[in-house]
Amino acid sequence: MQSIDFKQFKCLITVVNLLSEDKMQTDDTLNWVCQYCGVENSVWIDLTVDGKQDFIEDCRICCRPNRIIVTTDYDENVMIESRFIDE
C-alpha cells in the first residue's frame, strides 16, 4: 500500500517539474504595430518584471517613437499594445 502511494507521489513531482519548466521563461520577443506607418516591429520583453511595463520604442521603418505598454495578467498571459506617445 505504501509503495503505491510513493509511485503516485513521484508522478505528481514529474508533473510539477514540467509545469515549472514552462514558467522558467524569463524573456520573450513580442510584436507591436507602429501607430504611424502600420509596420510590425518586434521588441524584447523582460518577463521577470512584475506588472506593467511602459516605455518608448522607435519604429524600425519610420523611426517615430511609439509608446509600448506591456501588461501581464494573473494567468501570466502577456499583452502588448502600442500607442501614440502623446495619448
| 62 is an interface residue for Zn ion by CB under 5 A | yes
CB 87, min distance to Zn ion, A: 16
Please list, in sequence order, all residues whose beta carbon lies within 8 angstroms of the beta carbon of residue 83, skipping any fewer than 6 positions away: 35, 66, 67, 68, 69
The single-letter code of the amino acid at 81 is E
CB 60, min distance to Zn ion, A: 8
**Which three cell numbers, joined as nine digits, stand for 44?**
524584447
Measured distance CA(30)–CA(62) in Å, rounded: 19
Site string for Zn ion, 15-44 (x = CB under 5 A): -------------------x-xx-------
Q: Which residues bind Zn ion (CB under 5 A)?
A: 34, 36-37, 59, 61-62
